[in-house]
Amino acid sequence: MFFVIDENHPSIQGHFPENPIIPAVVLLNNIQELISKQVGYQLRIIKLLYVKFMVPARPGEEIRLDANFNKDGLIMFDLVSNGIIIVTGTLETK
């Protein structure tokens, strides 16, 4: 599952004009949307058990979501851009 945040996205203007990055909340929202599409219903993130933002995500980059579902309802995920993990984490959904 892939997504791209365009440089015209409203959140980009404030993050940061000379060196734009995608805000964490936008990345998390895309994770929720893509996982919801994959499972076929709208998921709610209840808790971020662990999240680490390793490298800034840039507008215009293709970002891949790799998600693994565990039997306890936890989802381990990585966001990958240009072969590099930019975000990794575990979340609980409902």
Please say if the pLDDT value at position 18 is more than 90. no
pLDDT tens digit string along 59-91?
A: 999 999 999 998 888 999 999 999 999 999 999
Residues written for the chain: 94
Domains of the chain (ranges, CATH numbers): 2-93 (3.10.129.10)
Query: Given this model, what pLDDT does residue 88 score?
Result: 98
Query: Given this model, what pLDDT does residue 3 score?
Result: 96
User: pTM of the entire structure?
Assistant: 0.91
Q: Are 87 and 78 in contact, with CB atoms under 8 Å apart?
A: yes
What order of strands is seen across the sheet that includes strand 2-4? 2-4, 62-69, 74-81, 84-93, 45-53
pLDDT tens digit string along 28-58?
A: 999 999 999 998 999 889 999 999 999 999 9
Please say if the pLDDT value at position 93 is more than 90. no
Instruction: Determine the 3-state secondary structure of 76 from DSSP.
Output: strand
